[in-house]
Each structure stands twice: as structure tokens, then as C-alpha cells.
Structure 1
Amino acid sequence: MKGGGAIEFGGERNRGISIFDFVLRLLAFIATLGSAIAMATSDETLPFFTQFIRFRAEYDDLPTFTFFLVANGIVASYLLLSLPLSIFHIVRRKAQNTRIVLIFFDMIMLALLTAAASAAAAIVYLAHKGNTKTNWFAICQQFNSFCERVSGSLIGSFGAVILFIFLIFFSAFALSRR
């Protein structure tokens, strides 16, 4: 209660934002972990003329996909480690310093995830469309399963990028309420 009998709802609003923060972190963790697992398990083998000669496509054939996998793993680990701090914000709504630290690291993870997903998206685009000027052929016509799995991995990662943007926005909003 404040002066003239008015009820203060700022604390409850910050609690709601903190709960929403926790849910967003959990969803982003699931998205990045799923993206990393999907990328790590993407491989396809095609026979060429005989059974003894085969073409194989794996994520580690391209350094960009390896970077994507490592970046998603780092971000998923960070999100898992930040969940207890998010729970702390639900309990202690007035915590400012830890929220500032989370915003700082959230921005670093957002930059890392965006860079990795964007680089991988460029390679996936080439895999789907090819580039006739440089004689890069579209391999997704032959390696359908591989390309579908990698594309699905990208969707999860870009979904996590959007969730990070919301995380940063809502954390900044909760800080500005103080």
C-alpha cells in the first residue's frame, strides 16, 4: 500500500515478468539443445554405381555446421546454467545486479547464436539452390534427409534467437520498472 490507500502492482508485474523469463529460457534451452542434437545426428549415405562406393554427407564435412553445433551447445549450456538465476528472480523480485548480468550474457549469447545460425543458413541455401557461377551444385536433390534435418535444426536455432530477443526486452523492461 502506498500513501492514499492505493495498491502497488509493480512487484506482481515483475514477478510475472520473472516467471515469463524462466519459461522463455526453458523454451530457448529446448530449442538450442534440439538444434544441436539434430545437427549432430544429421548424416546420409548414398550408393554410387556399386555398393562399395558411397557418397556420405555429415555435418562435420563443413566447418560452418561444426561452428553451428558448438555455438548451439554453448548457448544451451548457458541457458541451463541461467535457469537457477531466473528462479532467483521469481523469488526476489527486487534483484537488479543479477538481472543486469543476465542481460549482458544474454546479448553475448544472442550474438553468438545469430552468427552461427546465419552462417549455417547461408550453407543450407547453397545446398538447396546451388550456385552455377561457381559450379556448386545443389546437393539437397540427392541428400533429402540430410537437408531436411539441417533445415529443421536451423528453424530451432532461429526460434531461440527470437526467444533471446524477448528475454532481453523483458529483462530490460523489468529493470526499468525500478
Structure 2
Amino acid sequence: MFSKLVSLVFIPSGCTISKRVFFPLIQIVLSALVAISLAAPQKRFTPGGLESQAVILSQDQNLEPNGAYSYRYETSNGISAQQTSFDGANGAGDYSYTGPDGVQYRVQYTADTYGFQPQGAHLPVEPPVPDHVLKGLEDIRRSPPKDPGFNLAALDATIARLRNTLG
């Protein structure tokens, strides 16, 4: 039924084009139209309100010749941050912001050779370490490997961090 309707509407009488050629051609054209309409650029989200109109209320930065630095800033939409580094590689600081739920969040952190270590009331905390894991690490500490690449300070820091999870 559809092929008769298409041939009545699209194929003029007396046309020498065969239906075997015409129908695949129609499918290709319709597929191309669908693809073009789906590939059209989507509307982009442009934030409005406080975020797009925030201004810097205060800003301060200090850079020392030895690489030490500090900075702090505060914006009109409730964002504030500060960080200090005494050697240019390790830093500590905090930042705060108002979440989408209207709550003010504050994160304190250190960033050093052990990575970025954030703390905040809203962040999950590490669960207590199982006793057998801590005991195994302490055994390694008592008789460390003879490998020159073994980092005893890192092991000590890990043991101290895991002890803190015990409360």
C-alpha cells in the first residue's frame, strides 16, 4: 500500500525510473534529513544569576624568590579561598562555597608528596583500618626491606594516617 502511495505521489507518470532504484534513493534522502536534524547544534546552557555576575571582593597574592607563595580571594557569590606554601611544592589552605542546596561548604586541605588531602564536614571519611592490616604494616616497619628505593618516611606517614582512623 505504501509503495503504491509513494509511487503515486513521488513518481510522475511516464517516468522511466524503476521502483528498485527509487525506494532506496528515498530511504537515503530521508536518512540524511534525519541525520542533519539530529546533528543540529543544541542550545547551550548559559548560567545566570549570582554565578555569572560574581565580582572579586578581595584578592591578595605573594610570591617569594625561593618559591614560597600565598594567595587568598573572596567573591561576591560566597566563594573564598586561601593557600600557603613555604617551599613552592607543598601547600595547605582552604576554600568555601555555597552549594546548590544553599549550604555553605568549607574544605581544608594539604597538598604535598602524599597527594591532595581534603577534609570537610561534608566529605566522607576513611573507614577504620582492620587490625591485621595495621599490624602487617607495623611488622614491615620493624624490619624494613633492604631495597634502596623503599620509602620509610612514606610508610611511617601511612601508619600514622591509618592509626588516626581508629579514633
Give yes or no for TM over 0.5. no
Which structure has more helix as a fraction of its residues?
1
- Indicate the structure (1 or 2) with the bigger Cα radius of gyration: 2
Higher relative contact order, chain-length normalized (CA < 8 Å, sep 6+): 1
Task: Tell me the TM-score range normalised by the shorter chain.
Answer: under 0.3
TM-score, reference length from structure 2: 0.23
Q: Which has the higher strand share?
A: 2
